Amino acid sequence: MKSVKIILSILLLLCLAPMPYGYYQFVRIAACVGFLWLAYSYSKQPLLLLPCIGIAILVNPVIKVYFNRHTWNEIDIAIAILLVIWIIIDLVNWKFNGRIK
């Protein structure tokens, strides 16, 4: 699951660069699937489950939520920062508990 978080954070940060529109559509699909996978993986932990479902709903490609590019950039940065913090917490837990998710 750590690799899913890393990939999602990289994809979201690449949205800050001028990319073709197809890339943003791909990121919507990948982020929605990735956050649904994380929600499923953390289904017994509501503090992690609910934000994953919320982000999956926000970025879903079916019923799109429309913001201007600047707002989406801020959302992408915020989600990427939260993912990096989550990865760091996982690494600290692994170091002290001998396991990682």
At residue 45, the pLDDT reads: 87
Question: Between 21-41 and 2-14, two packed helices, what is the crossing angle to 10 degrees?
Answer: 160
Phi, psi (deg, nearest 5) at residue 68: -75, 170
Task: Report how far residue 46's alpha carbon sits from residue 74's, in angstroms, rounded to the nearest whole number.
Answer: 25
Cα–chain-centroid distance for residue 34?
7
pLDDT tens string, the chain, 101 residues long: the values are 788 999 999 999 999 999 999 999 999 999 999 999 999 998 888 888 999 999 999 999 999 899 999 999 999 999 999 999 999 988 888 777 765 55
At residue 93, the pLDDT reads: 80
At residue 2, the pLDDT reads: 83
Instruction: Supply the DSSP string of 28-59, one letter for each residue.
Output: HHHHHHHHHHHHHHTTT-HHHHHHHHHHHHHH
At residue 41, the pLDDT reads: 92
